[in-house]
Structure 1
Amino acid sequence: MQLSSLLVVLPALPLVAAETVLGTYIFHRHGDRTTKSYSPVSLTPLGADQALASGLWYRHQYLSANASSRIPGMATDLPVLSQLSVTSPVDNVLQGSAQVFLMGLYPPAGSAASQTLADGSSVTTPLGGYQFIPVNAVSTAASSRGSEDNLWLQGGSGCGNAVASSNSYFNSSEYLAALKSTQTFYQSLLPVYNTTFPSATASFKNAYAIYDYIHVSEIHNASSTISSAGLLTNETLHQLQTRADQHEWGLAFNSSEQVRAISGSLLAAQIVQALNNTLAAPVGKTSAQKMTIQFGPYGTFMAFFGLAKAPAASPEFYGIVDYASSMVFELVTNASLDDSAAAVSPDKVSVRFRFANGTASDANPPRAFPLFGQTETTLSWSTFVSEMNKFAIGSNEAWCKACGPTGACAEIAQNGSSVSTAASTDGSSTGGISTPVAGVIGAVVTLAVILGLEGLIMAVAGLRLTKKGKKNDVVRKTSNSDNGSNA
């Protein structure tokens, strides 16, 4: 083709609209903390810095005036609280991380956060215009009988089948083989940790607790004798981590027993519900919810990764995510947004999954990965919802079917009542997946109905729950507790 002809053709080509991120759902782990071997577990200054840095990155990505993927209508400097939904379990490490993350997302605004009073004087919010964004706390305390003695957080959730599935891991051939093959390995490291883990507890059974103890010491105890005359070589540290990964993956997910990953199923329902709420609102509606942020434990990451077949995209999804890791679901469109009074048609909307293992930053931005065994990283809204609905649990009926007729589900079965809904694939419903009736599913939280699903998710967000007590009691009972959550 002649150059002159090409120049004639080019103006006739349709202009392709740039991609717009309409909203996001962010699931985030806490920052660096003290070891779980000693209580109370607390967020460290390093952990707070990690959470702050992550919040700043998400601000520059989605909120700033010059953000690369600015969400239309989202407040830039002074938050509009209706645009945000931020939740965390009742846990000082997770809640503290969420609060510091929000400091990065909306930093102190200085004089922009001031108010002129009737007498003409000006008042600025404390700490140089600090932004007060609430973190909605949902209880992780189970109300079922004997919950304080349950090793599993699932044990207090009222999901009997999830408890049985998780416990069955300890009778599996995989677990028993690992327990036997690593016995010499863990015993050989007794000089490193025998003051915390005596010989009887130094085994694969406590793989995560041992790894956590050493990992924290390697970060914080420069003058410690933890190295114990060269016992902790790079190869040894690698094996400690991979064995902990193996142990926790076995507790979090089993491909033949989906109920084991109950927290991932609940998270999936909430993700679809939140994104559907954003999708159903007019683009120009400034009061609409545009960003949902939830802080939770690594166990929920693993459960969701297993259900969503994330390891098919990368083996890193088999491992315990690093401190301050985050995954984000972007609701995106290439449609024109000229009519801000209307919602974008669902058939013009897609969802992209991104994950950052560790603090999100320019050096470590969340990367896009395909889910559900697919090859594309961006899926149509209908495909995304269809795939999520294969394992999402967002109704009383689905919960009771998965967990069995015990606890509150026994009452539902006796009364012959149930609730069953699914996420809307066309975006016509503002609710998406129904909010379960508070106090029915799992009988684990006493929140208003509007928070029922969020409360349920956080109530089973971890894998284990133990009472904090003496050092040896913690080691003997369980390897995983963060003041009540597997974080």
Structure 2
Amino acid sequence: MAIKTSLVFLTASVLPVLGETILGLTVFTRHGDRNSKHYPGYGLTNLGFQQNFQTGGLYREIYLSSNSSKQILGISEDIYVPAQIWASAPDQKVLANTATAFLQGLYPPLEQLDPQIATNTLTNGTKYTNPLEGYQYVVLHTTDGESPNTIWIKGDDGCPAVTEVSGDFELSAEFMEREASTKSFYEGFWEQLQDVYDYTESKLSYARAYDIFDLINVAQIHNSSASENVTAEELFQLRTLADSAEFGLNFNASQPARSIHAQTLAGAILNQLNQTVTGKGKLKFSLLAGSYDTFLAFFGLTELTAVSPNFFGLPDYASTMAFEILTDKDVTEFPSSVDDLKVRFLFRNGSDAGAPLTPFPLFGQQETTLSWTEFTAQLGERAITTVEEWCGLCKSTESFCAAYDPSLSSGSIGINGSNSSGSGMSNAVAGVIGAMVTLAVVALAGLVFYLFTRKRKTAPPSSGASVGSVEKGSV
């Protein structure tokens, strides 16, 4: 029987506490509306861009506006200051665009805010603004799959341990019972899905719960004729089944490896918040863009599911988690002691107008605000904080893991990932390549000798500058 859950929170958004000062913020956001993941090349829709843009605008109103009692201490309200903002996303189209749209809402074009500060005047009197009405180019740090930094937001990618233990859920009695009991329900959607190129009616089952929900949900949003063929009740049932399937794949308290991606996100959150603390508030706002599966794993990891069964459900498009660093005093400078610091977790489901940014207690606690020491201890117990730890827990063969596992080095692994004594290149091929390399080295040495002797004949007297004397930033 399907578990009927949805993340619709009726609690009011957090109200500012008298005398309280917000010192910094780290936000993790989901992407907005997109095409179905089933098809290659999917991306954000216009609606999706708007959802992430509006979410960024909401955070601007709460944490940047001088009219807000929760304005972050010392943050630049209108002009982007690079030292105050850090944003990161995987080098994936949907997530990179998600962060970009959010940042556009956080720091919109300056001409819309104040034409005077948007304009630079040259000595000859000519005035210029940035293109696009003073567009502000907020730096976004993207990480590709070959970088060790990719683990902090997408810790399940390239992690065989996650794949292995997630498969255990699909072999569980719970999964198989649900698959059997919902088979006829799923087959009832064959008319809507028969044009999906790689689907057959026999494939319609709980085993593809999220994919089927995603295909039909996208059609409901963007195809008016398709929306007539699926009732609201059926769509809700598809979603709740997807909720249970995806949560089961991404978290199990007895198998920590299922939530490795949440553990690395916890490490990233700790790192960003700690930078704010150790830098005495220099870094004020951090943004990380990721996927729904990491949300679900994090909900389980931090025991939010004990607070409300709604946290078993998929977060809506453009949902956000936020971590405030604050002090319960009215201050004008960053506190000198960490004993004065606290952390509060908040969640906002979706981007609809009026959707509240609501505080929730973490780690089975009663209070929504924890001391800095308690928060870092609790999240630190659940976090992966080094690449070496991730490589070991994941049993990963990613290239950057070779630094921690000699068996992964290029000298001991063949082209197909096996030992070079096995199916690597043949001795004959290796001999040819070796001979070619030797010839190339000899030729290169000759060229260097020629250029060196020629330079000695033609070079002017030294100005005294060394090779490393070029100033940083001048290249």
Shorter-chain TM-score range = 0.7 to 0.9
- In the other structure, the counterpart of 1:428 is none
Matched, 1:115 2:120: yes
Identify the match of residue 392 of structure 1 among 351, 359, 383.
Answer: 383
Amino acid at match of 1:32: D
- 8 A Cα contact 1:161 1:403, kept in partner: yes
- In the other structure, the counterpart of 2:26 is 25
- 8 A Cα contact 1:154 1:163, kept in partner: no
- In the other structure, the counterpart of 1:40 is 41
- 8 A Cα contact 1:252 1:303, kept in partner: yes
Query: C-alpha separation between the residues in 2 aligned to 1:154 and 1:121?
Result: 50
Consecutive unaligned residues of structure 2, counting only runs of 5 or more, are 1-16, 149-153, 408-475
Q: What is the TM-score normalised by the length of structure 2?
A: 0.75
Deviation at 1:255, TM superposition (A): 0.9
Deviation at 1:386, TM superposition (A): 1.0
Q: How many residues align?
A: 379
Structure showing the higher helix proportion among its residues: 2
Matched, 1:345 2:347: no
- Distance 1:246-1:280 versus aligned 2 partners, 3 A rule: same
- Distance 1:47-1:156 versus aligned 2 partners, 3 A rule: closer
Query: C-alpha separation between the residues in 2 aligned to 1:38 and 1:401?
Result: 33
Deviations 1:415-456 (A, max 9, x none): 9xxxxxxxxxxxxxxxxxxxxxxxxxxxxxxxxxxxxxxxxx
Deviations 1:312-368 (A, max 9, x none): 111111111100100100001023535x3x64411111111100110164x112101
Query: C-alpha separation between the residues in 1 aligned to 2:336 and 2:67?
Result: 23
Amino acid at match of 1:123: Y
Identify the match of residue 293 of structure 2 among 299, 313, 319.
Answer: 299
Deviations 1:41-68 (A, max 9, x none): 1211111111111111100101012123
Deviation at 1:403, TM superposition (A): 2.7
Deviation at 1:40, TM superposition (A): 2.0
Q: What secondary structure is seen at the aligned counterpart in 1 of 2:184?
A: helix
RMSD: 2.2
Deviation at 1:140, TM superposition (A): 3.4
- In the other structure, the counterpart of 2:200 is 198
Amino acid at match of 2:170: F
- 8 A Cα contact 1:253 1:306, kept in partner: yes
Amino acid at match of 2:345: F
- In the other structure, the counterpart of 1:371 is 362
- In the other structure, the counterpart of 1:215 is 217
- Distance 1:250-1:293 versus aligned 2 partners, 3 A rule: same
Amino acid at match of 2:180: K
Q: What secondary structure is seen at the aligned counterpart in 1 of 2:95?
A: helix
Matched, 1:315 2:309: yes
Amino acid at match of 1:27: F
Amino acid at match of 1:19: E
Query: C-alpha separation between the residues in 2 aligned to 1:57 and 1:406?
Result: 41
Identify the match of residue 324 of structure 2 among 323, 326, 330.
Answer: 330
Amino acid at match of 2:357: P
- 8 A Cα contact 1:22 1:332, kept in partner: yes
Query: C-alpha separation between the residues in 2 aligned to 1:156 and 1:358?
Result: 25
Query: C-alpha separation between the residues in 1 aligned to 2:362 and 2:26?
Result: 16
Deviations 1:27-84 (A, max 9, x none): 0011111112333212111111111111111001010121230111111111101111
Identity of aligned residues (%): 39
- In the other structure, the counterpart of 2:170 is 170
Deviation at 1:100, TM superposition (A): 1.6
- In the other structure, the counterpart of 2:393 is 402
Amino acid at match of 1:80: V
- Distance 1:70-1:140 versus aligned 2 partners, 3 A rule: same
Consecutive unaligned residues of structure 1, counting only runs of 5 or more, are 1-15, 144-152, 416-487
- Distance 1:58-1:411 versus aligned 2 partners, 3 A rule: closer
Q: What secondary structure is seen at the aligned counterpart in 1 of 2:325?
A: strand
Query: C-alpha separation between the residues in 1 aligned to 2:331 and 2:124?
Result: 43
Identify the match of residue 130 of structure 1 among 130, 135, 138.
Answer: 135
Query: C-alpha separation between the residues in 2 aligned to 1:160 and 1:325?
Result: 28
Query: C-alpha separation between the residues in 1 aligned to 2:396 and 2:157?
Result: 15
Q: What secondary structure is seen at the aligned counterpart in 2 of 1:277?
A: helix
- Distance 1:375-1:194 versus aligned 2 partners, 3 A rule: same
- Distance 1:275-1:282 versus aligned 2 partners, 3 A rule: same
- 8 A Cα contact 1:279 1:343, kept in partner: no
Between structure 1 and structure 2, the one with the greater Rg is 2
Q: What secondary structure is seen at the aligned counterpart in 1 of 2:382?
A: coil
Deviation at 1:414, TM superposition (A): 5.3
Q: How does 1:404-483 map to 2 (within 5 A)?
A: 404=395, 412=404
- 8 A Cα contact 2:155 2:265, kept in partner: no
Q: What secondary structure is seen at the aligned counterpart in 2 of 1:25?
A: strand
- 8 A Cα contact 1:211 1:244, kept in partner: yes
Matched, 1:354 2:346: yes
